[in-house]
Amino acid sequence: MIGVAISTHRRPDVLAQSLAGWAHAMPDLLVVTHDVNGEGVAATKNRGIAALMDAGCEHLFLVDDDMHPTSPDALTRYADDPEPHLMHCWGKSRLISDDGRYTTWTHPRGVMLYAHRSVVEAVGGMRIEFGRWGGEHVDWSRRIHAAGLTRHRYADLSGTRGL
């Protein structure tokens, strides 16, 4: 089962646009976690992770409220790939390599993070001590890689422009 957790913080207009965009690529489960009290990105993402795990999702996508897929098969491309943790990345300044299957990066982007359920079972969620934001995505991917679960610390599928 594919689950998506959208994180938002007091941006109802942005969220509404995003939800409209998800209509053509609707996952099995879509949840919205609203950081209404300003707890921060990690706490909000962790609530999304918990909701997806509790629902039995095998493939978890953590996305920001200002993104949605531009192709109907975007989620299945990630879910069908054997790499258990990937993230949507873009730009040239952070790109290390593109081998035609994966792109590797010097630094992650947090707009869309994919993790197989086994990743969360092995390393848990994001650490909340980073405060409102900053470092939680980097740390999570580093911990996943340090646990030996991924070949690259920060990687995406090749050819995912626009997701």
Nearest to 53 by CA among 121, 114, 113, 110: 121
Going by CATH, does the domain composed of 2-157 fall within 3.90.550.10? yes
Segment 137-162, tens digit of pLDDT: 899 999 999 999 999 999 999 988 65
Taking the domains of the chain in order of start, what are their residue ranges? 2-157
Segment 66-85, tens digit of pLDDT: 999 988 889 999 999 999 99
* C-alpha to C-alpha distance for 63 and 4, rounded to whole angstroms: 7
Q: pTM (2 decimals)?
A: 0.94
- Residues 93-101: contacts with CB under 8 Å, at least 24 apart: 98/158, 99/158, 100/158, 101/157, 101/158
